[in-house]
């Protein structure tokens, strides 16, 4: 599956090492737990989450009177699914009868534009009428980059000049979406980190403009995070998540990292669902997140 291919590096980092550990140590003892901890922390599952996981494993091992390490693998994957499923896999929220609007936020370089392009492709291939809004008027080249994706996928991009007010771009985009009977409007935003307060104010203004025109929008505010940055992604999520009304996370570049355990850490340490994962640079390399499939891709 796409998941399995995209997660091959993480799979090697976690599963192959766990298997090696099981074969080598055979019995579950303190050293076994210590080595297991190291493997999981090394794959960026995060210390807090690993401690919780190991505690749960210990309890289960005791309750079931398990001694052989070989019996642990199914329990480990069961526990991982449990951690990931915390609030369930809610999927993407869509408007029941009107235009669905998604705002994409996150710092430069995490993969916002690419994700918008991939998602536009996904919706278009489902027969939906898609429109993009070039709300990053700040970074040089951001508008053009979104236009390249628009052309590649075959969807229009609403834009203004570089440096213009992003809220004005969003206003135009919503008007255009109404006129053109668009099903899904995907909005890019600026991702500069300097001047954080301004960025948050800008996002709030965008939010208000959209809401004034479409009272039930935006239907998602998706924070895009680069999985290869590991624990850094977690800090960004904490920073953004508090202030900008984020409803879900997109984790990109999972194909490029052995530290895919970050998905588990994020799921366990934040009260935000992972909604999409990026598993490559191509148009089709985006998946809606499914915790069972994720763990299955790692262990099966």
For 20, the 3-state DSSP assignment is helix
Q: How far apart are CA 14 and CA 36, in angstroms?
A: 9
C-beta of 39 vs 134, nearer to ligand GDP: 134
Q: Taking contact as CB under 6 A, which single stretch among the options 112-120, 173-181, 197-205, 288-296 is the one that binds ligand GDP?
A: 112-120
Out of 150, 166, 260, 278, the only residue in the binding site for ligand GDP (CB under 6 A) is: 278
- Is 255 a binder of ligand GDP (CB under 6 A)? yes
Q: What does the per-residue mask of binding to ligand GDP show for 185-224, with x meaning CB under 6 A?
A: ------x---------------------------------
Out of 108, 162, 204, 268, the only residue in the binding site for ligand GDP (CB under 6 A) is: 108
Q: For residues 146 and 157, is the Cβ–Cβ distance under 8 A?
A: yes
Query: Is 190 annotated in some ligand binding site?
Result: yes
Residue-wise DSSP of 194-218: SSHHHHHHHHHHHHHHHHHHSTT--
For 187, the 3-state DSSP assignment is strand
C-beta of 54 vs 148, nearer to ligand GDP: 148
- The two structure tokens encoding residue 216: 């039930």
Q: What Å distances lie between residue 157 and 124, 259, 278, CA to CA?
A: 14, 34, 22
What is the number of other CB atoms lying within 10 angstroms of the CB of residue 115? Answer: 26
- Is 113 a binder of ligand GDP (CB under 6 A)? yes
- Is 259 a binder of ligand GDP (CB under 6 A)? no
In the bound complex, what is the minimum distance in angstroms from residue 57's beta carbon to ligand GDP? 31
In the bound complex, what is the minimum distance in angstroms from residue 281's beta carbon to ligand GDP? 4
Query: Is 108 annotated in some ligand binding site?
Result: yes
- Is 49 a binder of ligand GDP (CB under 6 A)? no
C-beta of 34 vs 144, nearer to ligand GDP: 144
- Is 225 a binder of ligand GDP (CB under 6 A)? no
- Interior/surface letters 33-70, b for 16+ CB within 10 angstroms, e for the rest: eebbbebbbebbbbeebbebbbebbeeebeeeeeeebe
- Is 121 a binder of ligand GDP (CB under 6 A)? no
**Residue 183: closest CA among 132, 118, 115, 128:** 128
Tracing tokens 């490559």 back to the chain, one arrives at: 280
In the bound complex, what is the minimum distance in angstroms from residue 227's beta carbon to ligand GDP? 8
Q: Taking contact as CB under 6 A, which single stretch among the options 8-16, 54-62, 208-216, 276-284 is the one that binds ligand GDP?
A: 276-284
Query: Is 141 annotated in some ligand binding site?
Result: no
- Is 253 a binder of ligand GDP (CB under 6 A)? yes
Name the strand (E) or helix (H) holding 248.
strand 248-252
Q: Taking contact as CB under 6 A, which single stretch among the options 35-43, 111-119, 121-129, 166-174 is the one that binds ligand GDP?
A: 111-119
Q: How far apart are CA 84 and CA 64, in angstroms?
A: 23
User: 163: phi > 0 → left, psi -120 to 50 → alpha, else beta; which?
Assistant: left
CB closest to ligand GDP, residue no = 278
Sheet holding 184-187, edge to edge: 156-158, 130-133, 184-187, 100-105, 220-226, 248-252, 274-278, 286-288
Chain contacts with ligand GDP (rule: CB under 6 A): 106, 108-114, 191, 252-253, 255-256, 278-281, 285
Residue ranges for the binding site?
A: 106-113, 188-192, 252-255
Residue ranges for the binding site for GTP?
A: 106-113, 188-192, 252-255
């Amino acid at each position: 599956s796409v998941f399995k291919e995209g997660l091959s590096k993480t799979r090697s980092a976690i599963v192959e090492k766990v298997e090696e550990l099981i074969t080598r140590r055979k019995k579950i003892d303190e050293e076994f737990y210590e080595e297991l901890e190291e493997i999981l922390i090394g794959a960026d599952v995060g210390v807090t989450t690993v401690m919780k996981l190991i505690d749960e494993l210990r309890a289960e091992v005791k309750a079931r009177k398990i001694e052989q390490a070989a019996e642990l693998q199914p329990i480990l994957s069961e526990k991982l699914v449990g951690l990931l499923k915390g609030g369930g896999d809610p999927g993407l929220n869509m408007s029941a009868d009107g235009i669905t609007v998604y705002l994409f936020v996150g710092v430069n370089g995490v993969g916002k534009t690419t994700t918008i392009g991939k998602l536009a492709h996904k919706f278009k291939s489902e027969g939906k009428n898609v429109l993009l809004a070039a709300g990053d008027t700040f970074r040089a080249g951001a508008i053009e980059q979104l236009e390249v994706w628009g052309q590649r996928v075959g969807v229009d991009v609403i834009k203004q000049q570089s440096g213009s007010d992003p809220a004005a771009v969003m206003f135009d985009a919503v008007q255009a979406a109404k006129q053109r009977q668009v099903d899904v409007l995907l909005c890019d935003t600026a991702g500069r980190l300097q001047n954080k307060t301004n960025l948050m104010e800008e996002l709030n203004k965008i939010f208000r403009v959209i809401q004034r025109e479409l009272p039930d929008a935006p239907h998602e505010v998706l924070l895009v995070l680069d999985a290869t940055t590991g624990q850094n992604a977690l800090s960004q999520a904490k920073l953004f998540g508090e202030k900008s009304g984020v409803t879900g996370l997109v984790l990109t570049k999972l194909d490029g990292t052995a530290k895919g355990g970050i998905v588990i850490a994020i799921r366990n340490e934040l009260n935000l669902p992972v909604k999409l994962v990026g598993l490559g640079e191509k148009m089709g390399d985006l998946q809606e997140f499914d915790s069972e499939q994720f763990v299955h891709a790692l262990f099966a």
